[in-house]
Structure 1
Amino acid sequence: MSDVIKGKNVVIGENVSFGKNVIIGNNVVIYEGTKIGDNVVIQDNVVIGKQPTRAKASILPETKQLPPAVIGSGVTIGTSAIIYANAEIGDEVFIADLATIRERVTIGERTIVGRGVAIENDCKIGKYCKLETNCYITAYSELGDYVFIAPCVVTTNDNYMARSKERFGKFKGVTVKDGGRIGANATILPGKVIEEDGAVAAGSVVTKDVKSEEIVVGVPARTMKKVPKDQLLRYQE
């Protein structure tokens, strides 16, 4: 703990491990067994390693004690962010204020998780992604590398909208492959796939898979044109 600078009212559980040059703000709670790398900044009111709780009316099974959270080196965690147990955060990830990262989520190196972003359970987020303010990544989703999600994007995973027993076992998140981009306020329906370098225009509702290197627009979203060559991932510096 000699390399850790702590604020006031910090609560650290048993067997928490810290790397070098860790800075912890005020009123932070770090749960048992959490692993934190070098050069990590944890701002005020952050909670790391929280075990999930289950609503009485939830259809999900009871959750057993999950393994601790793992925070890579060079990570910044903003004020009042919550990172659940069994989350794995890669090196140099930036997590902004008020973000929530649920259990069994992995986030690749140098990804930015914006203010108020919610990443639900069992998601995989690649490296060098940018998830902007207040976007919502539904459970069981997968984002590749260099994915861009604009503010207030909504992804969904329940085609039955919480009705009928048929929905059980059929929840399916969205998939956005490498270089996929989604514009502000777009909605992506359950199970839809945005292929490599596919792009969704702002305000669109995606009801079908988006092909590689195509731009879709509208409600429902339809192909408008090809992504300009200079915007393709393979031509970026």
Structure 2
Amino acid sequence: MIHSTAIISAKAKIGENVSIGAFSIIHENVVIGDNTIIESYCELGVSNHLSEGINLIIGSESHIRSRSTFYEGSKFGDKLVTGHSVTVREKTTAGKNFQLGTLSDVQGHCEIGDYVRTHSNVHIGQHSKIGNFVWLFPYVVLTNDPHPPSNVMQGVIISDYAVIATMSVVLPGAVISEGCLIGAHSSVSGRTEPDMIYSGNPAKKIATTSKLKLKDGSRKPAYPWRKHFKRGYPENVVAMWVKEDI
């Protein structure tokens, strides 16, 4: 269903069974996949001098919540999900089932993998590269300017299965290795080691992630988290993780 107050360019490509809410604006360089929901007061396909007129592509079965803004020149896989009032700038690519929390922003020129989860108020700076199955919790900031203000851009790299806890800052050029846990309120620079805990300001290596135990009475290792947490992931992904355990 398309609300009567929505403004949709005749040149936009809208798939089947797409819902567009009240007062939303869909510009001409927008492609929306089937079975997608765009809530009210959204604007998709905003252009600027950096987007170069490239289409904004939203995959099928996506859900963009109210007051969200997407610039043209980006591409998102199927099942994109946002909270309210998010902003995504130009030349961002994201894989399947990217979840972007309320009031979060992606500053553009970013590469994001499959099944990345961000909570509310997350800032992803330009030129960030995020792998698959990464978790960014509330108020995490990925920076890119080593001596602000300047024109130097050094995006961060976050590898698969990493978890960055609330209110942490990842400094320009930092590399977060696969399976790392960054503790809350940390400030991380440099290169981390896989499957290790880093915490503090400046963040220091604490221990292997396997040292942390679940607080459910079982005392089983809390990490790798995919051994016990599977909610929201498709059966084929869970099967892959089970096979890894075998």
Both structures adopt the same fold (TM-score exceeding 0.5): yes
Deviations 1:140-184 (A, max 9, x none): 00100000000001111111111xxxx54x311111000011000
**1:208 aligns to 2:180 (yes or no):** no
- 1:18 aligns to what? 14
Cα distance in 2 for partners of 1:234, 1:76 equals 25
Cα distance in 1 for partners of 2:204, 2:50 equals 40
- 1:44 aligns to what? 40
**1:178 aligns to 2:174 (yes or no):** no
Which runs of at least 4 in structure 1 moved beyond 4 Å after TM superposition? none
Counterparts in 2 of 1:180 and 1:220: CA distance versus 1, 3 Å: same
For the Cα contact (< 8 Å) 2:51–2:73, is it kept in 1? no
Identity of aligned residues (%): 27
- Cα RMSD, aligned residues only: 1.4
Post-superposition offset of 1:33: 2.7
Deviations 1:16-62 (A, max 9, x none): 1111110110001001131111000000000001013xxxxxxxxx5
Match of 1:231 among 217, 223, 233: 223
**1:80 aligns to 2:67 (yes or no):** yes
Cα distance in 1 for partners of 2:222, 2:189 equals 27
For the Cα contact (< 8 Å) 2:195–2:209, is it kept in 1? yes
Cα distance in 2 for partners of 1:197, 1:85 equals 33
**1:138 aligns to 2:130 (yes or no):** no
Post-superposition offset of 1:230: 4.5
**1:125 aligns to 2:115 (yes or no):** no
Deviations 1:186-227 (A, max 9, x none): 011101000000110000111222211000011100011111
Cα distance in 2 for partners of 1:65, 1:142 equals 21
Counterparts in 2 of 1:109 and 1:141: CA distance versus 1, 3 Å: same
Post-superposition offset of 1:234: 6.0
Query: With CA pairs under 8 Å and 6+ residues apart, which has the higher RCO, 1 or 2?
Result: 1
Question: What are structure 2's unaligned runs of at least 5 residues?
Answer: 211-220, 229-237, 239-246
Question: Partner of 1:128: helix, strand, or coil?
Answer: coil
Cα distance in 2 for partners of 1:67, 1:219 equals 40
Question: Partner of 1:6: helix, strand, or coil?
Answer: coil
Q: Aligned letter for 2:130? A: L
Question: What are structure 1's unaligned runs of at least 5 residues?
Answer: 53-61
Q: Aligned letter for 2:206? A: M
Q: Aligned letter for 1:136? A: H
